[in-house]
A and B are shown apart, each in its own frame.
Chain A
Amino acid sequence: MKIHKYDTVIVGAGGAGMRAAIEATKRSRTAVLTKLYPTRSHTGAAQGGMAAALANVEEDNWEWHTFDTVKGGDYLVDQDAAEILAKEAIDAVLDLEKMGLPFNRTPNGTIDQRRFGGHSRNHGEAPVRRSCYAADRTGHMILQTLYQNCVKEGVEFFNEFYVLDQLIVEVDGVKHSAGVVAYELATGEIHIFQAKAVIYASGGTGKFFKVTSNAHTLTGDGQAACYRRGLPLEDMEFFQFHPTGIWRMGILLTEGARGEGGILRNKDGERFMEKYAPVMKDLASRDVVSRSIYTEIREGRGCGPEGDHVYLDLTHLPPEQLDAKLPDITEFARTYLGIEPYTDPIPIQPTAHYAMGGIPTNVEGEVLSDNTTVVPGLYAAGEVACVSVHGANRLGTNSLLDINVFGKRSGIAAAEYSAKADFVELPEAPESLVIAQIEKLRNSTGSERVADLRRELQETMDANVMVFRTEQTIKTAVEKIAELRERYENVSIQDKGKRFNTDLLEAIELGNLLELAEVMAVSALARKESRGGHYREDYPNRDDVNFMRHTMAYREVGEDGSETVRLDYKPVVQTRYQPMERKY
């Protein structure tokens, strides 16, 4: 075991982690721990763009952007945070340009912008061109640019280090962060990182679904580490299902495809979104479009022999436009489906995409241990966090924005905190929980296999808590997850070695997914309304009287060691906008 001491430790090197690192490294002694090489992070998969009211191609302003964000989130957005997001968007994009990001350009050389779902002119009048982009590789360019600038700033990375535990110590009755425990993939060695400030930027948790746009490595490790140490998780029932994943595979085809003019069609060739969203049509917000697709499928207008998908039609767009604006996604269709998008429509279905919920923070990125109390020294930013700027449904292009705005904010806040704070003393045997977890898995001779449990989890999540939910389906999921958690106690692994033991880590990741799936399902069961990404067929309307509030889920351990999810609620911050019915 090795002990390291840093002012600031950042967990994760995706967009949020590296944006934080660039700030924190300038101000404090910083280490970035990441389970992947930084450039392997899933930010690199983002395609469509990053929102900012630059007004480079048409009139726009941050207030319109704030409104769209609040409305898109079905009014569960904290409006103070959304305002910061929209205001600081402009600098966030300009910062990236100055760092070297190769945005697409307008004829006069400024950053080009395009349309994206839910972003509108003057409070919903018509779609507006707000998304700054680099072809359909915006996330790739952001990730590369941030890594390049980390190289320039000399950021210190610990690559292939898996953070498995968050150290929390009570000082004068207040929970403080003391550091983290990490597992080094190459050697199997345990490392303690004592730090004045820790920032979680470890990304999403999409891998508990089967059809998902998320990477194999998005297993909610950060959320689970904090939750297990008694910190709450906010709004976990809200997960975004992106309308256009490649049929059966889930690989994303950006909304930018519809921004460029792509059209969704059912088996009769009908442009069905005209029925569901007369103004925004194919560019209505994602939850609306995903439900519309499934409604078409359920009513027998799906395509293919099993009627289980619809088409994304790009055939009317000039090939030059596809080559210039959508080169990667057209190549995905060719590579994985053998389809030529110039001439053939692409089979798609909704795909599990984005966790709106996560570790609750305030607008400085400080993590909360209840509705109001800050955990000194603990920060979170990016998809792992819930500020909440996305509320019940995130608008496209607002996450790449979120990771930059709140990555930067938390990087500055954490480094400023560590400049004046002292180290919190490490708890006794800080490694004990992780060692116990690892030894148990390594020594187990149980009959259950990780892959089987993961498959069953993913299947139950897809079947029961995806686009449409009911009391019955969610209960089925809750029961199944409980069964799987029991069977997980009996899981064994085949690789008993120390070197690059990915067998072991997949088992640990599965444990995280199971824990978070339970939180999601229990939170969803209690929310007896429909809002944004959470749609209950048995409660199809939004219920502002009872549910205009954030869910806060806590892990409770009974005297017999049994574990339950306790739910509490937190008020939504409303400043400018009164809730209205959401129409597109």
Chain B
Amino acid sequence: MATPVLDKVEAESAASPYITVTMRIRRFNPEISDASVWEDFQIEIDPKERVLDALHKIKWDVDGTLTFRRSCAHGICGSDAMRINGKNRLACKTLIKDINPEKPITVEAIKGLTVLKDLVVDMEPFFQAYRDVMPFLVTKGNEPTRERLQTAEDRERFDDTTKCILCAACTSSCPVFWNDGQYFGPAAIVNAHRFIFDSRDEAGEQRLEILNDKDGVWRCRTTFNCTDACPRGIEVTKAIQEVKRALITRRF
């Protein structure tokens, strides 16, 4: 059953895989100082491991004060979005070998949200924007006895935006959001899209009005940073465009 590809993978893993990498991390702890500083850590790691594994090695074996959020460790919970080599990614979904370990790997908190300690930011404004777009199904009339019916095509219509894990990688990569934290940001729009295009929902108009606001979709300048950043592969910019179009045509 062994195929050539698998043989290669396994042969590689048999040889000692460890390499030395420099993790350059932007540290910040207001209990100690108001300024943030870059600190270098040299660690031994298998390049097929995750950036999250590298952070754990530092925290567990070198410096217990290094602080970051994490839980699932496989790209499902949305805890560990950070700026790695200048790009927003999940630390648990980024393998060391894929980000040029020959050079120091820089890790810093995502931008546009207040840094509280090291890689931890204040997520409240982000979740507030999410809550503001009515991110729940709204229906009128009597509830059916059984499930509401939905065709497979209607279900497919909003599939992409149901994948969101609220990691904030998109919103915190958006230059409009960096300049003005009042902007709803891509993640909130993605989650509005998820309901606007759900055939069962009856509050599309209300949500569109919310996003028609001066801090709404029209602020988007289609830079595609959000789409590039999304670890779930959601076509964020396309979703925003669809909301814009729905606002113009009022058809969705």
Using a CB–CB cutoff of 8 Å, the interface residues on chain A facing chain B are 36-37, 39-42, 44-45, 93-94, 97-100, 102-111, 134, 137, 140-141, 144, 148-149, 151-152, 186, 215-217, 249, 251, 265-269, 303-305, 311, 313, 328, 332, 335-340, 343-345, 347, 449-451, 493-495, 497-503
A98 to chain B, nearest CB (A): 6
Contact A311:B152 (CB < 8 A) given known A45-B74, A102-B162, A494-B63: no
Given contacts A102-B155, A107-B152, 7 further A-B contacts (CB under 8 A): A40-B79, A104-B152, A104-B155, A105-B152, A134-B162, A269-B1, A335-B95
- Chain B residues whose CB sits within 8 angstroms of the CB of A450 once the complex forms: 60, 64
Query: Lowest 6 A-B CB distances belong to which pairs?
Result: A100-B137, A451-B60, A494-B64, A109-B149, A269-B1, A503-B64
Q: Give the distance in Å from the alpha carbon of A107 to the alpha carbon of B151 in the complex.
A: 7
User: Do B71 and A216 touch (CB < 8 A)?
Assistant: yes
Contact A94:B147 (CB < 8 A) given known A40-B71, A44-B165, A215-B77: yes
Question: Please, could you name 7 A-B residue pairs with CB atoms under 8 Å apart, sorted by A?
Answer: A98-B148, A140-B165, A251-B74, A265-B1, A340-B5, A450-B64, A503-B67
- Chain A residues whose CB sits within 8 angstroms of the CB of B148 once the complex forms: 97-98
The reply on B104 being an interface residue by CB < 8 A is: no
- Chain B residues whose CB sits within 8 angstroms of the CB of A305 once the complex forms: 10-11, 14
User: Do A102 and B198 touch (CB < 8 A)?
Assistant: yes
Chain B residue nearest to A248 in the complex (CB): B13
A439 to chain B, nearest CB (A): 17
User: Do B59 and A503 touch (CB < 8 A)?
Assistant: yes
User: Do A186 and B116 touch (CB < 8 A)?
Assistant: yes
User: Do B150 and A140 touch (CB < 8 A)?
Assistant: no
User: Do A339 and B5 touch (CB < 8 A)?
Assistant: yes
Q: Give the distance in Å from the alpha carbon of A93 to the alpha carbon of B146 in the complex.
A: 10
The reply on B42 being an interface residue by CB < 8 A is: no
Q: Give the distance in Å from the alpha carbon of A328 to the alpha carbon of B163 in the complex.
A: 10
User: Do A39 and B6 touch (CB < 8 A)?
Assistant: no
Chain B residue nearest to A498 in the complex (CB): B31
Chain A residue nearest to B151 in the complex (CB): A109
Chain A residue nearest to B6 in the complex (CB): A344
B9 to chain A, nearest CB (A): 6
The reply on B123 being an interface residue by CB < 8 A is: yes
- Chain B residues whose CB sits within 8 angstroms of the CB of A267 once the complex forms: 1-2
Of the listed residues A100, A148, A345, the one surrounded by the most CB atoms of chain B closer than 10 A to its CB is: A100
- Chain B residues whose CB sits within 8 angstroms of the CB of A498 once the complex forms: 31
User: Do A97 and B147 touch (CB < 8 A)?
Assistant: yes
Count, chain B residues at interface, CB 8 A: 66
Q: Please encode chain B, from 68 to 101, with 1 for each CB lying within 8 Å of some chain A CB and 0 for all others.
A: 1111111111110000000000000101000000
Using a CB–CB cutoff of 8 Å, the interface residues on chain B facing chain A are 1-3, 5-6, 9-11, 14, 29-32, 48, 59-61, 63-65, 67-79, 93, 95, 116-118, 120, 123, 127, 131, 135-137, 139, 143, 146-152, 155, 158-159, 162-166, 195, 198, 200-201
Q: Give the distance in Å from the alpha carbon of A265 to the alpha carbon of B213 in the complex.
A: 57
A519 to chain B, nearest CB (A): 24
User: Do A343 and B71 touch (CB < 8 A)?
Assistant: no
User: Do B149 and A39 touch (CB < 8 A)?
Assistant: no
User: Do A500 and B151 touch (CB < 8 A)?
Assistant: no
User: Do B77 and A41 touch (CB < 8 A)?
Assistant: yes
Q: Contact partner of A495 among B1, B64, B120, B158, CB < 8 A?
A: B64
- Chain A residues whose CB sits within 8 angstroms of the CB of B123 once the complex forms: 37
Q: Contact partner of A345 among B3, B118, B146, B162, CB < 8 A?
A: B3
Q: Give the distance in Å from the alpha carbon of A267 to the alpha carbon of B149 in the complex.
A: 46
B123 to chain A, nearest CB (A): 7
Chain B residue nearest to A492 in the complex (CB): B64
User: Do B151 and A105 touch (CB < 8 A)?
Assistant: yes
B230 to chain A, nearest CB (A): 13
- Chain A residues whose CB sits within 8 angstroms of the CB of B93 once the complex forms: 335
- Chain A residues whose CB sits within 8 angstroms of the CB of B59 once the complex forms: 502-503
Q: Give the distance in Å from the alpha carbon of A313 to the alpha carbon of B75 in the complex.
A: 23
B193 to chain A, nearest CB (A): 13
Q: Give the distance in Å from the alpha carbon of A105 to the alpha carbon of B162 in the complex.
A: 15
Q: Give the distance in Å from the alpha carbon of A501 to the alpha carbon of B74 in the complex.
A: 23
- Chain B residues whose CB sits within 8 angstroms of the CB of A313 once the complex forms: 1
B175 to chain A, nearest CB (A): 25
Of the listed residues B70, B147, B165, the one surrounded by the most CB atoms of chain A closer than 10 A to its CB is: B147
- Chain B residues whose CB sits within 8 angstroms of the CB of A335 once the complex forms: 75, 93, 95
A551 to chain B, nearest CB (A): 30
User: Do A338 and B9 touch (CB < 8 A)?
Assistant: yes
- Chain A residues whose CB sits within 8 angstroms of the CB of B60 once the complex forms: 449-451
User: Do B150 and A109 touch (CB < 8 A)?
Assistant: yes
User: Do A343 and B3 touch (CB < 8 A)?
Assistant: yes
User: Do A45 and B77 touch (CB < 8 A)?
Assistant: yes
Q: Give the distance in Å from the alpha carbon of A151 to the alpha carbon of B6 in the complex.
A: 46
Q: Contact partner of A497 among B65, B76, B198, CB < 8 A?
A: B65
User: Do B31 and A40 touch (CB < 8 A)?
Assistant: no
User: Do B116 and A149 touch (CB < 8 A)?
Assistant: no
- Chain B residues whose CB sits within 8 angstroms of the CB of A500 once the complex forms: 67, 116-118, 120
- Chain B residues whose CB sits within 8 angstroms of the CB of A104 once the complex forms: 152, 155
Of the listed residues A94, A144, A186, A340, the one surrounded by the most CB atoms of chain B closer than 10 A to its CB is: A144
A436 to chain B, nearest CB (A): 21
- Chain B residues whose CB sits within 8 angstroms of the CB of A497 once the complex forms: 29, 31-32, 65
User: Do A311 and B135 touch (CB < 8 A)?
Assistant: no
Chain B residue nearest to A346 in the complex (CB): B6
Chain B residue nearest to A503 in the complex (CB): B64
Q: Give the distance in Å from the alpha carbon of A451 to the alpha carbon of B164 in the complex.
A: 32
Chain A residue nearest to B146 in the complex (CB): A94
Contact A39:B1 (CB < 8 A) given known A337-B9, A338-B9: no
User: Do A100 and B198 touch (CB < 8 A)?
Assistant: yes
Q: Give the distance in Å from the alpha carbon of A290 to the alpha carbon of B242 in the complex.
A: 47
User: Do B152 and A345 touch (CB < 8 A)?
Assistant: no
